[in-house]
A and B are shown apart, each in its own frame.
Chain A
Amino acid sequence: MMRKHIWTALTLTLLLLGLAACAALDSGLDLPLRHLSADDLGEQPTTCTNCHEARGEKLAFGNFNHTATWGQDHRQQAYQQEAVCSMCHQTSFCNDCHATRVELKPSLKNQTDTKRQMPHRGDYLTRHRIDGQVDPTSCFRCHGNPKAAQTCARCHG
């Protein structure tokens, strides 16, 4: 067991040293830390291709256009380019839906933001009986950890 820990620590240390060494090299993407805000631009910067090439030299900006279905299908972009998300969004923005534990469902915390496609609009207490059986994998993604599952535990034990 001790040997396994030593190997793990050694691997992590090597990775850290490698990261530190390579951090001095060129950057492939060279993106800024923050994007210009809506106040700076005079509009919400939700359609990247209004200003950037869909297949830009730094990034495939077309993949980050916040289309009408973006709320349901941005997982791939976040998995691969979290740094691009953080150019415009604080983690608190993501935490409305993705968090260890919250009591207010996303559409309730943002009740008046009807223009946003927030999940669980309306009486989801009834609807989740059906959606949960149809595709429990989508429930598990947010409610799978012990803290987040406290929402389910009140009825499901």
Chain B
Amino acid sequence: MVMKKSLQCLFWVGLLGGLLLPCQTLAAEVSFQSDTIIRGFERNTVTQTDAGVVPVYEYLQVDAGTLDEPGLAFHLYGWGRLDLADNGYFTDETAGELLYGYLEYSQAQARFNARLGRQSIFEGVANEVVDGLRLSSDLGRYFSGSVYAGQPAALAEENGRDGDSIFGGRLANHVAGYYDLGVSYKKIRSDSSDAEELAGVDLSLYLPAAVTLSGFSSYNLDSEDFAEHSYQANLKLGPVSLRPFVQFFQYDDYFGTATSPSPFSFLAGTGEELTIYGADFTLPAQEAWLLTAKAKHYDYEVLDDSSNFVSAQVSWSGAGLTQVGGELGYMNSDVAQIDYVLVRLFGYCDQVKEILPVDFVSGDLVYVGYDQKIYNDDSSLFVSLGVGKTYLDNSLKLKLSGDYSSDPYFDNDLRGMLTASYLFDRSL
């Protein structure tokens, strides 16, 4: 309850700050985007059969300040949900999350950047949302660095926030056209106890003949062994792009970083080692056509088993964003003991204004056939159709879609969704 109040307080303070900030800065802009999503479908609940469920989602984004130039800016993004039917489908009638809300100062010299508030940090071994401070800068011509410290937002509901902390950073050395090399570190404490400590190294090596070798390794400092190695090469053979890759995971060290009991916790005690290798292959043809193929092999050390996935996709692109395509995939899974074949057809056309009263139409069909029955069903069929139109000089976009699913979990499931996106953008 206290946390919810704090979040609400932060949200409104942030919103107020965002609205006031342009008054204090020069060449300021304010941008406001609202995405309202209304869904409708039926579900069986504890008390009702085929009860209507009508959740309304509001995604709100506010950006203010010098957005396209160095200076001071404020950014906020969050979502909230209200169940209009309120018939017990959702555990909570309302839900929501402040995804980020921070003040940012940046300057052109050395690309110095400072952020204060709730923010996503995605660099090196960090994939975190932090309530705190992050500073980054180029450090001369060949180095750059960043540091951050604060509280991890993901632990906010785990026994309160007392004793929760996170800090880390990344130091990089780069010579444009030759290589980028980074070392990173992250430590999380939960309820005053050490919860996660990772170190990592990442590398991109630009070799002759347009070959790039890149990847990273992460080391679990608690378990004192490597959690992950992921490396790939990018090659161009004439018009063909090829990306061979190899990944290696040690479950005890990879999943041993979980900061609280989770559905993945049991994996940390299995001693399993997973090796994945394969390649992506992309061939453009006649500008409009694109052929993509992928092959992945999974090898399990403890289970002494393996799985394979192969897929091929072809797509055609027309004027604007028009695209149609299809995909065929096959999973041969020894570890799950169920194989499947996946067929997907998709299309999007924004060249329909002359024949239809909408700006675009879209369609999607996904069929999956399983070699063994799951809940007495051996296939899934999903079909989605959508249309959209813009109004008010592209400030308002309405999108309507309906989808049907027949699968092991739902016999004949019909769902509808209406999205209203409104963008307000103004220089002050």
A residues near B, CB below 8 A? 8, 12, 15-16, 18-20, 22-31, 33-34, 44, 54-60, 62-63, 67-69, 73, 75-76, 78-83, 90-92, 94-95, 98-104, 108-109, 111-115, 121-123, 125-127, 129-131, 133-137, 139-141, 143-149, 152-154, 156-157
Contacts and interface: CB of A to CB of B under 8 A. Distances in A.
Contact of B348 (A92, A103, A114, A125): A114
Contacts of B176: 28-29, 56-60
Given A69-B243, A95-B99, A157-B263, 17 more contacts: A12-B147, A25-B141, A26-B140, A73-B280, A79-B123, A92-B61, A94-B120, A104-B37, A123-B380, A127-B342, A130-B331, A134-B336, A136-B264, A136-B267, A137-B274, A145-B128, A145-B152
Given A122-B366, A126-B407, A76 B216 contact: yes
Nearest to A135: B298
A121 to B, nearest CB: 6
A63 B234 contact: yes
A114 B364 contact: yes
Interface in B373-411: 374, 380-382, 384, 386-388, 399, 401, 403, 405, 407-409
Nearest to B173: A28
Interface string B319-330: 001010000000
Interface in B167-183: 167, 169, 172, 174-177, 180, 182
A133 B407 contact: no
Given A134-B335, A146-B154, A146-B260, A126 B409 contact: yes
Given A23-B110, A60-B212, A69-B282, A126 B368 contact: yes
Contacts of B216: 76, 79
A24 B107 CA distance: 10
Interface residues of B, number: 140
Interface of B: 33, 37, 57, 59, 61, 63, 67-70, 75, 77, 79, 81, 91, 95, 97, 99-100, 106-113, 119-120, 122-124, 127-129, 135-145, 147, 149, 152-158, 167, 169, 172, 174-177, 180, 182, 202, 204, 206, 210, 212, 214-216, 228, 230, 232, 234, 241, 243, 245, 247, 249, 254-255, 257-260, 262-264, 267, 274, 276, 280, 282, 290, 292, 294, 298, 307, 309, 313, 315, 321, 323, 331, 333, 335-336, 338, 340, 342, 344, 346-348, 360, 362-364, 366, 368, 370, 374, 380-382, 384, 386-388, 399, 401, 403, 405, 407-409, 417, 419
